[in-house]
Every structure is written in C-alpha cells, then in structure tokens.
Amino acid sequence: MNWYDFLLRNRGEVLERTAEHIGLVAAAMAIALAIGLPLGIALVRRVTLQRWVLAVANVVQTIPSLALFGFLIPVPWIGGVGASTAIVALALYALLPILRNTCTGITGVDAAVIESARGMGMTPQQVLWQVELPLAAPVLLAGIRVATVISVGITTIAAAIGAGGLGVFIFRGVAMVNNQVILAGAIPAALLAVLADFGLGVVQRRLATR
C-alpha cells in the first residue's frame, strides 16, 4: 500500500488532524500576537527593558520544544497533558520573532518622517497607527511569517503530550514502524508549513511594494 493510498483511505482522520493542527497554530499565534504586538510597541522606546525582554524571549526560544512541553506539564492552571499546554508553549516560541520584529520594524522607520509627523501636529496615537505601524508592516509581517512556520513545525511535536494535530500520525507511525502512517502526518505538515510561508510571503511582498 502506498502512502497516498493510506492517506486517501484515512482522509477523514487526516483532515481532522490537519484542522486540529491549524487550530493549535492559530490559537498560539493569536495569543503571541495579542501579547507580542502591544509589548513590542511599548518596548520600542525603552531600550534597556527591551534588551532584557528580548534576552528572556531568546532563552525561551533555545529550550528544546519537547523539554518546554515537559516544563509546562506540571504548571498549575495552564499545565497538564493536552492542547492548552501545547498552545502556551507554541505561543512562547512565536513570541520572540514577533516581539523582535515589532521593535526593529518601528525603530527602523525613518526618524525624519516621525519628526515631521509630530511636528505637523499628529498625536502620539496617530503617529503610531498612521505612520509607524504601516511603515513597519513589512518587517512585522516577516516576524509573523517566521513565527507561523516555527509553530507549524513544533505543533507536530505537540502530539507527544496529547495535543493532537498531524504529529499523531508521525508518532503512531514510529511506534508501528510503518512509514505510510508517518508520511500521512509528515507530508501534510510539511505542506502546511510551505503554504503558510508562501502565503505570508506574498502578503509581505505586497506590503513592501505598496
């Protein structure tokens, strides 16, 4: 039996796992954006604090994913085995690229443009929403793109702590020593990552040439 025969025969479960996978990534990205964007904006002009926060985010990023899942399981409220722990860990991983790119994106906006915006009588809010964020958008989106691709990848490991997703096939296939089962998870997961990267890349380029 070929791997795509297996895929076709089990398309119900494959679709279900894919949806689960996308759901985990989406939930984690939503949390990471909700925290990372405002935090990044708040840190733009607080250089010392920014360095510390980015250093901490950097450390989190270097923790191997399975180890981070392990760390989180005993934590009360968010921990335990299942999707919520996985989402927290994924959000932590996604946070660094979003934070870093929010900071560098806004810092990189031409100082003369910001000065004339303030000098012409825009309020700080107007400067942020009408000038800084639109001009930082391509860099911001690059961060979101990296974070999304990382999340799609790490979500496959989340199956190890019972969060579901396409990793379920991979782990099951490894246990069964069955390549078809492994590929039924690995190929859609890889496709998902490539598609996310490509799609967000298109949006990013469109923003940059605007």
Cα 194 to Cα 202: distance, rounded to the nearest angstrom: 12
Nearer to other proteins, 67 or 113 (CB): 113
Q: Is-contact 40 54, C-beta < 8 A?
A: no
Least separation in angstroms between residue 135's CB and other proteins is 6
The CA-atom distances, in angstroms, between 14 and each of 159, 174, 182 are 14, 17, 12
Kindly state the smallest distance separating residue 200's Cβ from other proteins, in Å.
20
Complex with other proteins: residue 1 or 112, whichever CB lies closer: 112
**Residues in the site for other proteins, rule: CB under 8 A?**
110, 112-113, 115-123, 126, 130-131, 134-135, 210
By beta-carbon proximity to other proteins, the closer residue of 16 and 115 is 115
Q: Which is nearer to other proteins, 135 or 157 (CB)?
A: 135
The minimum distance between CB 54 and other proteins, in angstroms, equals 25
DSSP one-letter code for 209: T
Taking the complex as a whole, the smallest distance from the CB of residue 110 to other proteins amounts, in Å, to 8
Long-range contacts of 17-23 (CB under 8 A, 24+ apart): 17/164, 17/165, 17/166, 17/168, 17/169, 17/185, 17/188, 18/166, 18/188, 18/192, 20/164, 20/165, 20/166, 21/152, 21/155, 21/156, 21/164, 21/165, 21/166, 21/167, 21/188, 21/189, 21/192, 22/192
CB of 98 to other proteins, least distance (A): 21
Which CB, 58 or 123, lies closer to other proteins?
Answer: 123
